[in-house]
Every structure is written in C-alpha cells, then in structure tokens.
Amino acid sequence: MKRALFIFLLAFVLMASHVFAQPEKINESDYNVAVMKALEAASARDRRIVTVEKFYTGEQVTGTRNIVSDFAGPDAKRINVTAEFGGKKTSNDAIQIGAEFFCHDAKNGWRKSAKECSKNAMMAIPDGEYEYFVETDAADSSRKIYTRRATFVDSGNPARDAVRLKFIEIKIVADDNGIIEYTETRRGGIDSNGWSSLQVTKYDYAVAGLKIADPTKEN
C-alpha cells in the first residue's frame, strides 16, 4: 500500500512539474516591462558579466568569442573581448571611468583615449515578428524564464539565403527579485547543417575586490 502511494505521489509531482513548467504566451509590453526591470536591477549593482559565444557550421565549431565585462560603481566599466575565428586570435581590452577612456593593445600597453575604444562585439537583435513567453524554471521554481523568439523568411538568391539569419530565440532568466541571472541566445538557419550560434551570458553580483582604476597609473 505504501509503495503504491509513493508511486502515485511521485507521478503526481512529475506531472505537476511538467504543467508548471509550461510556457505562457504574453504580450510584448508585459515582456518589455519584466526585462527592463531585470536590466535596471542588474545595473544598480557591481557585477561581472561573462559571455561565451560559439559559432557553428552544422555541428562543427568554427569560431568562439568570450566577453568579460566588469562594472563597479555608477560609472566605471572594463570590457575584455577575446575571439578566435579561422585559427586567428584577437583581443581587445578597454576601460571607461566617467568621461575618461583607456585602451590597451599588446604593443603599447594601456593609453588614454579621446573616445570609447571598446568594440561592440555583440550581434544585434534584428527587427521582426516576435512571440513572447514566460515560464517557471523547472530547475528552480524561484526563477522565471522570459523568452523572445522569431523566424525570418528571405526571398533573396539561394547563396545569400543560406547565410541569412532564419531563427533567433532569446531566454532571460531572472530570480525571485526579478534580477537577471543569465541569458541564452540561439541564432541560425532552419537547415541543421547550416550556420548557427549559441551565446550564454552569466551575471555575477558577488565578485570579491572588484575595482576599476586608471590603468596608466598602476604600478
């Protein structure tokens, strides 16, 4: 009897988890309000944001890009971008403190700059007809997952069509206070043998000793 009751309760929990994890369709306005709240909550804290992006042709990795962004206080940030495509490695390091900009290169080290020198390595999010969803994270019921996705149709020539963006899905995971924990973005074509990319960004709000200073004055 106890065994039968246990099996029944286990089955109920599994079914309930499946039901609770089902995404609910929401409108664009509600999605934007939730995402803006999460971004504002993150921006109010010192944080390290680590992005790892991999690019594929079929199942083969053809390139990688890593971005580490540190934010300390109201107006200081440091961004380091490393990438490897076709066997070629590149690196870019930049600091901004208020209205002052600093750039770094392997030959000359750190130097002050008249303008921002961090390269915007993130791929843009294209306009399109998006669908919006929210769901409870099956792995942690205190978190919510906000999803935005769209598919695109291109009537160009076959060669151009093969490399065009066909699909994008963005997941933003926020804790019970509405603060971003991580995001996940998938891009690519409908054809599984075509190009695609996976970008995972994690937020860390407890980085010990996070400090950003003028690098030209460091010993």
Condensed to tens digits (0 to 9), the pLDDT of residues 100-124 reads 999 998 788 999 999 988 766 566 7
d(CA 190, CA 162): 10
What residues make up the domain containing 199? Answer: 25-217
In a domain, residue 144? The reply is yes
Residue pointed to by tokens 């971005």: 67
Residues in CB range of 90: below 8 A, 6 or more apart: 81, 82, 83, 84
**pLDDT tens per residue, range 172-183:** 999 999 999 999
CATH number at 83 reads 2.50.20
Q: What is the pLDDT of residue 8?
A: 45
Average pLDDT, the chain: 84
In a domain, residue 191? The reply is yes
Structure tokens at 128: 């399109």
Structure tokens at 102: 């600093």
| Weakest-pLDDT range from 25-39, 40-54, 70-84, 180-194 | 180-194
In a domain, residue 17? The reply is no
Question: Higher model confidence: residue 174 or residue 190?
Answer: 174
- Which range has highest mean pLDDT (27-41, 151-165, 179-193)? 27-41
Structure tokens at 146: 């906000």
In a domain, residue 7? The reply is no
Q: What is the pLDDT of residue 158?
A: 60
Number of domains in the chain: 1
In a domain, residue 9? The reply is no
In a domain, residue 3? The reply is no
Q: What is the pLDDT of residue 105?
A: 83
pLDDT tops 60 at residue 35 = yes
Q: What is the pLDDT of residue 211?
A: 92
**Exposed / middle / buried, residue 13 (Cβ in 10 Å: 0-12, 13-18, 19+):** exposed
Find the mean pLDDT for residues 73-87: 93
> What is the longest distance spanned by two Cα atoms in the chain?
77
In a domain, residue 8? The reply is no
| Weakest-pLDDT range from 73-87, 105-119, 197-211 | 105-119
In a domain, residue 71? The reply is yes
Q: What pTM was estimated for this model as a whole? A: 0.82
Tell me the pLDDT band of 9, cut-offs 50, 70 and 90: very low
**Closest alpha carbon to 108 in 95, 93, 125:** 93
- Which range has highest mean pLDDT (9-13, 48-52, 150-154, 210-214)? 48-52
- Alpha-helix runs per DSSP H in the chain: 2-20, 28-43, 158-163
